[in-house]
Chains A and B, each alone.
Chain A
Amino acid sequence: MNTIVVVLRPVRDPAGFTVNRKAQKIFSNREGYILNPSDRNALEAALALAGPEGEVTVVALGGEPALEALRMARATGAGRAICVVTAGGPALDPFGATTVLQRVINHIGAVDLVLLGAVVLDSDSAQVGARLAAALDWAYVDQAYQANTLAQGGLGLVVAAPRGFRLVAVDLPAVATIARDSNQPRFASAAQIVTMFSNPDAVETLTLADLDLDPADLTAATAARGESFPPERTLGQTVKGDDGVRQFADTLPRALI
């Protein structure tokens, strides 16, 4: 397989927020970034697919948090990292982000597969993966739990189905999103962390101009009009009696999907 690209999105650490439903306000207690959890699963899926010989390139958009996520990804095993510096430019909505990513993929060249985390914690519109596949005119699979190369070529992706899982065979090139907690991400080694964080060339940076993009090309197609708070969660369903186990077994798949 040619290069696998993984898109990484640093998000504000949810442990740094408290939500006050009564006041309908979000309080930020401290500023910190983490890598979007399902993006870590996407990186792990890519590293496992590529094996020791394969090439995984990680891409992120933004400023300092993006650079640090990319360095950490290199320490974890990615062979190449590209940061598109968008700080100071227009705020990117899914449309803008897709436009930039499409250019980056073409810039890298010989990409067979793009993996993204299925869910983004802070601004989840679940659109970037699908939009990117449409823009590239590649196959698209959402919420994969496993990814394996198939003997006959192409990629086998395991996705959730109403009563279990099903294997989807896709021709490459393709875009897929990887479900959160679908694998156990590997740890970066201490030596690699030291190396990648002290090597100024660990991450390549590109500007919008390098990608022949004008900020006007990235004007948001969507606008945020305000915040609303979902209703507080209530207790789940209780099953009782001799038939409880059967009821539970019947309910569980529906609850999960």
Chain B
Amino acid sequence: MDFTFSPQHVALRQMLREFCEQELAPRAKEVDRTGLQDPAILRWMGELGMFGIPFSQEYGGAGAGEMGYCILMEELNRACPSTATIIGAHIGIAAMSLYLDGSPELKRRYMPDLCAGRTIGAFGLTEPGAGSDAAGIKLRATLEGDSYFLDGQKMWITNGPIADVIMVLAVTDPALGARGGATCFVVETDWPGFSAGKPEKKMGLHGSPTSLLNFDEVRVPKENVIGQVGMGFVTFMKTLDIGRVSLGAATLGGASVALDASLRWVKARSQFGRPIAHMQSIQFKLADMATEIEALRALVYRTAWLVDSGRPFVREAGMCKLLGSETASRCIDRALQIHGALGVSRDFHLERGWRDARIAEIFEGTNEIQRIVIASELLQEIGVRIHP
């Protein structure tokens, strides 16, 4: 067993940390306040390869694998969770669904621009009537000649207002339902009939725009089907499985930056005549945070290794998302308590971190769904199949 990162990944983290600390962290407060991203920064991140970090260089990616992608998400989320969420939705679910199951021609057409950040991707699954019950989607795709016509709505779509390309799950055969009757498409957002709603007003992640998507008889050529017709649900579930690992990595960043801030603060802040680092009540909080973060780090990077080495990872991926989102919420909350009144000040980053972290327990499969995924994997090993 060797738990050290390769020199390649150490160097990658070094570059990413410097970029995030110098370029993203100083802007994060303003991004949260205005809800606006500087397009120049996103372009720059694209030039540095951050929009395609896990994908092979053949398709314009950086070739850093799931391990490199997890490092990226950890570092981005330390500095600016809104930016991390844009990249996470773009790589982890949008581009990933195309990369996993798209034909070589389709990948050659869309991946290089996605990897370079010249186009931004979104992943359309959730609908007004379908969330945790993803199989309940209604958006309809009807084949006429050599094109499909998409009609319906998607909701709560990360990157919806800024996306150039959307990977959409639609019903091609209502009689077959999700398994066999749902197909995944690549839709360009400048095609007639497509429109995105206004960005939603959210508790956190203000710089990561989320919106409704309207499909009004959008014509999509047959070549834009990802994988096989009728197999879209499988593609989307596979994509979400792998996306949970990097989401866990992002939460690791949020939790560890809260611990780092706390470690600086307990040394600087004095009460009762000495730094609060000497108070046992503070020490216990620090110890609990560090222990949970270390457990999460081990889980996330071991799972990334499972993915990169082609081993089964679905159960562990669910655990990354579950443990990660809850660890981050708990750690940031403890950090807030340690910082006292400063913790809730809008002039300090913890208040923003606390608001930004909460959604991780909900999106990309609620934590309740994760528990079902993990239990289902466990029970399958003893021959019990469960149905939610």
Chain A residues with a Cβ under 8 A of chain B: 68, 71-72, 75, 187-195, 197-198
Contact = CB atoms under 8 A, between A and B. Distances in A.
A169 B351 CA distance: 54
Contacts of B16: 190
Contacts of A193: 8, 11-12, 15, 62, 64
A68 B5 CA distance: 14
Interface in B14-31: 14-16, 18-19
Nearest to B48: A189
Interface string B48-71: 111001000100011110001000
B102 to A, nearest CB: 20
B15 A194 contact: no
A188 B19 CA distance: 10
Given A189-B48, A190-B64, A197-B7, 20 more contacts: A68-B10, A68-B11, A72-B11, A72-B14, A75-B11, A188-B15, A189-B62, A190-B62, A190-B68, A191-B61, A191-B62, A192-B49, A193-B8, A193-B62, A193-B64, A194-B62, A194-B64, A195-B63, A197-B8, A198-B8
B288 interface: no
24 contacts: A68-B7, A71-B11, A72-B15, A75-B11, A187-B15, A187-B18, A187-B19, A188-B11, A189-B49, A190-B12, A190-B15, A190-B16, A190-B48, A190-B68, A190-B72, A191-B57, A192-B49, A193-B12, A193-B64, A194-B57, A194-B62, A194-B68, A195-B63, A197-B8
Contacts of A191: 49, 57, 61-63
A101 B304 CA distance: 42
Secondary structure call for the A interface:
helix
A153 B213 CA distance: 60
A197 B14 CA distance: 13
Contact of B6 (A75, A187, A197): A197
A192 B10 CA distance: 14
Contacts of A71: 7, 11
B140 to A, nearest CB: 39
Contacts of A194: 8, 12, 57, 62-64, 68
A53 to B, nearest CB: 20
Interface of B: 6-8, 10-12, 14-16, 18-19, 47-50, 53, 57, 61-64, 68, 72
A193 B6 CA distance: 12
A131 to B, nearest CB: 31
Contacts of A187: 15, 18-19, 48
B91 to A, nearest CB: 12
Contacts of A72: 11, 14-15
A188 B14 CA distance: 10
A141 B353 CA distance: 48
Contacts of B72: 190
Contacts, number: 57
B62 A197 contact: no
A34 to B, nearest CB: 8
A72 B7 CA distance: 10
A190 B53 contact: yes
Nearest to A197: B8
B237 to A, nearest CB: 28
Contacts of A68: 7, 10-11
Contacts of A188: 11, 15, 48
A213 B86 CA distance: 55
B150 to A, nearest CB: 34
Contacts of B10: 68
Contacts of B64: 190, 193-194
A77 B19 CA distance: 17
Contacts of B48: 187-190
A207 B11 CA distance: 25
A52 to B, nearest CB: 14
A45 B61 CA distance: 28
A192 B12 CA distance: 10
A188 B10 CA distance: 13
A191 B64 CA distance: 7
Contacts of B14: 72
A138 B118 CA distance: 47
Contacts of B47: 189
Contacts of A75: 11
Contacts of B63: 191, 194-195
- What 8 pairs between A and B have smallest CB-CB spacing? A190-B49, A197-B8, A190-B62, A191-B62, A191-B49, A189-B49, A194-B63, A189-B48
B62 to A, nearest CB: 4
B44 to A, nearest CB: 9
Contacts of A195: 57, 63
B83 to A, nearest CB: 15
A198 B64 CA distance: 10
B95 to A, nearest CB: 14
Nearest to A192: B49
Contacts of B18: 187
Nearest to B44: A187
A192 B53 CA distance: 11
A189 B46 CA distance: 9
Nearest to A34: B14
Nearest to A186: B48
A88 B72 CA distance: 36
Nearest to A188: B15
Nearest to B10: A68
A191 B61 CA distance: 7
B285 to A, nearest CB: 22
